[in-house]
Structure 1
């Protein structure tokens, strides 16, 4: 995978208008430090940098040529970028770093790109089109896309658009070349669901590793972008050194899958995803107990009951308060707290387990199988699984949305719903709580105000929640 990039092939962006760099979504990202660091790469002035960052910038100026560049783009758009290039003579691996979708752009990678350059790589980092100082327009999740999704328009066309951009479409090609792939993902990912990543990961047959961490989208990696110790970035450096430069991997004892069990537990490693996951254990849904409105999660099936809730009203059962920020609180040991007593049982179906006498560790993909009856031709519900203490305060374990866009009005339908993968330890004495409601700020829904959803349990196919227990 050796490559040699000449800066003459990438036009300079001198003379382009300098736009202000707005604050990114990452609350712990020190953008002022990164700005000073880029300035040091350009001028050699390291005033205001910590000694280690100053040393890295100075060494980079000695070993490589750092230059601001404009990367040509299809359609004529120029993408703002930067190049770290070693002197000609020796073929070197090339690392290309497309920016996150923030206006801070490639600057986010300034420190890490420099560290890669100091390890002998040529590095090109660039800002995605439409962001920061890159030209062009953002083409994903714009007003027209959002209008299509809420109105249910152009679904086949949208799926075809997505298919061409999905890495899963190219798994066979990746496997034919035995491409080495390093994944880093968060358990409570709110932008790219964990199960989608697992689908690709499990289909790959070449060298691969999956790191699962506490938090939300890109949060676990964020401290490493400014050079702080970070196991995900450190693992990536070892991974690339081994697979691009042939260096030994003796110091890396992680298995193929490595995951932290939320904020409560240690890291656990396994050789495969199957080895990482627990055994499936069913908890059967029952009808509502008299005087509570809540059903139960038990080890024995119960049939012949129904539980109805109305649609169109939100409840305190939500995925998160804010994208990424809620995940940061979780990373810092302060996960979002839910007060389950505030959930209006008229707007949600609730099922609660008995207290866990010795606690329980969930590791894998929970599965919900249930029978529902809708009173309208389209309906949505969101399943939330909570860890609840004896005071009714809860933390979210996982969730999944479900939409039936062509519901059979008044007719029972049985569905299998995969909740997002989780790694979570439930303390002794706590209970599991399953909550189904019809709205969540993170999802659009197909419900009409005033309709209902009825959950039941057929005699020949009882409803249950299957949890992966270690």
Structure 2
């Protein structure tokens, strides 16, 4: 296999910079200082100078100290019990992450316990990436809350952003006491998130790895897994998949359904760390009370304003979810359409009865003829930069763009629809079906769907990578690829264009030097891109 070394070095440098920026949002001592400051076990509680909050040490799994803070409703005197919400912190974030939302919840009558996930900042242990110790930690924190706060054992909820979301979902499959979960910008399938299409999501993995090293203590298992992952060691592929499966809520779906937690999932269309497809698929398989919210943005950008204490509909709906499912409040959230989508191009939410109804209508764009492209060169079509590009789309309506007529056809194949007479509402998951042959046994392609205006400027609607290994050179095989789900309105007078090339800074390339890919459309099995479109 061959990696474009110059591009790879630049991408890793950019990912490292992003990691520094991410870590810079938190405050606290260096990991070395944390290790010195975190003894094996501390007293159960310590006082705080901040009104309404206690900073405490909670013994986690194996006695590992978890740094935490506790918010209690004003006037709580032990004469009554309150619903409790447990908040594990996000990757690389300190225990103060949820202070603004924890105070709001406490003011509304909740006990809130937020703790720093093991291995990060001043909590003890090493980073286990939502492994068994992290799942056990969640139950230990619940035990502590029931013993040391006026928490109601029959009204326990968990919530979190990103890493905290994953831990909350996993805990719901292992602890029957958890009655409600709000999982924001998380994952259901870890491998499908950062290894979709059998392609390493380079910038996402490098950013997470860098942020972990800056703010915590990666376990030896994590260090070896990341080395194998970024090094494209195919001999370790099955080990990596097994490692990810153990850390995926989808693995424990039956247990989650048996336990019956009410689960609310929230994610962004452009999440470059945990794309929305895997969340939507997981949502469809849940059998208990459930809700799915998808909005514009990138990883955790939709929740960020709420973490700063500003108005935020994500957190408003999170509290409504807990109010109804823990307190029995008749606030109407159970009567709303359970799938709530906010398109990237409009400000209004759309409600659907389930995920399969979102993309029920499909139209095909033919991928006729035979096209051959050369690998190893970025054509100019790409998915942008992790965290940055889709945040710009969210706040400024500036998605990644490319001049489709100027894309070099030697390195990019292009298929276009007719010019649409009316606005086309893309809703759901576009799918590519084609026949592919390569000159080498391995290769990578990246498919992009663009909204192309009259001047040929294409705005990125969606994308996804695909990698193959062990194929016989020159022998055609079928490729079925799902692009990342989205909600986007294509204006009247515009076209949709499918572009395929072989290099994108977001992903690791597996095309050997000088290799070529040929896309064909046999009469017996025509190639096409199927686009989910809804009528007005």
TM-score (norm 1): 0.80
CA gap 1:129/1:344 in 2 versus in 1, 3 angstroms: farther
Cα deviation code 1:13-40 (max 9, x no counterpart): xxxxxxxxx975399x7989xxxxxxxx
The unaligned stretches of length 5 or more in structure 2 are 1-18, 29-46, 130-208, 210-221
The equivalences for 1:64-463 within 5 A come to 64=52, 66-74=53-61, 77-85=64-72, 86-102=76-92, 104-140=93-129, 141=209, 143-149=223-229, 150-250=232-332, 254-264=336-346, 266-286=348-368, 305-321=369-385, 323-340=386-403, 341-463=405-527
Output the CA distance in 1 between the equivalents of 2:329 and 2:311: 21
CA gap 1:420/1:114 in 2 versus in 1, 3 angstroms: same
SS of 2:316's equivalent in the other structure is helix
Cα deviation code 1:172-229 (max 9, x no counterpart): 1222232100011100111112111112100001110111000111101111112211
| Cα shift at 1:145 | 2.4
Output the CA distance in 1 between the equivalents of 2:357 and 2:305: 30
The unaligned stretches of length 5 or more in structure 1 are 1-21, 33-40, 45-60, 287-304
Contact 1:26 1:219 in 2 (8 A): no
Asked whether 1:43 is paired with 2:26, we answer no
SS of 2:458's equivalent in the other structure is strand
SS of 2:265's equivalent in the other structure is strand
SS of 1:182's equivalent in the other structure is strand
Contact 1:96 1:123 in 2 (8 A): yes
The worse-fitting range, judged by mean Cα deviation, of 134-143 and 119-128 is 134-143
Output the CA distance in 1 between the equivalents of 2:333 and 2:481: 40
Output the CA distance in 1 between the equivalents of 2:462 and 2:258: 35
CA gap 1:143/1:436 in 2 versus in 1, 3 angstroms: farther
CA gap 1:106/1:344 in 2 versus in 1, 3 angstroms: farther
Output the CA distance in 2 between the equivalents of 1:346 and 1:146: 34
Greater Rg, structure 1 or structure 2?
A: 1
| Cα shift at 1:325 | 2.2
2:22 corresponding residue in structure 1: 25
1:8 corresponding residue in structure 2: none
Output the CA distance in 2 between the equivalents of 1:263 and 1:136: 44
Contact 2:27 2:94 in 1 (8 A): no
Output the CA distance in 2 between the equivalents of 1:337 and 1:402: 20
Output the CA distance in 1 between the equivalents of 2:62 and 2:26: 34
Output the CA distance in 1 between the equivalents of 2:62 and 2:440: 45
Contact 2:55 2:68 in 1 (8 A): yes
What is the root-mean-square deviation in Å for CA atoms of aligned residues?
2.4
| Cα shift at 1:252 | 7.1
SS of 1:244's equivalent in the other structure is helix
CA gap 1:365/1:26 in 2 versus in 1, 3 angstroms: farther
1 or 2, which has the higher helix percentage? Answer: 2
Output the CA distance in 1 between the equivalents of 2:77 and 2:20: 35
CA gap 1:318/1:163 in 2 versus in 1, 3 angstroms: same
Contact 2:366 2:415 in 1 (8 A): no
Output the CA distance in 2 between the equivalents of 1:23 and 1:454: 40
Output the CA distance in 2 between the equivalents of 1:196 and 1:239: 22
| Cα shift at 1:315 | 2.8
Output the CA distance in 2 between the equivalents of 1:23 and 1:67: 29
CA gap 1:71/1:178 in 2 versus in 1, 3 angstroms: same
SS of 2:419's equivalent in the other structure is coil
Cα deviation code 1:273-325 (max 9, x no counterpart): 12232402111112xxxxxxxxxxxxxxxxxx31001111223222222x222
Output the CA distance in 2 between the equivalents of 1:348 and 1:402: 15
Contact 2:466 2:481 in 1 (8 A): yes
| Cα shift at 1:95 | 0.8
User: Runs of at least 4 residues of structure 1 off by over 6 A?
Assistant: 29-32
| Cα shift at 1:75 | 5.4
TM-score (norm 2): 0.70
Contact 1:368 1:464 in 2 (8 A): yes
Contact 1:82 1:106 in 2 (8 A): yes
2:184 corresponding residue in structure 1: none
SS of 1:369's equivalent in the other structure is strand
SS of 2:302's equivalent in the other structure is coil
Contact 2:436 2:477 in 1 (8 A): yes
Cα deviation code 1:433-462 (max 9, x no counterpart): 111111211112221121010000011000
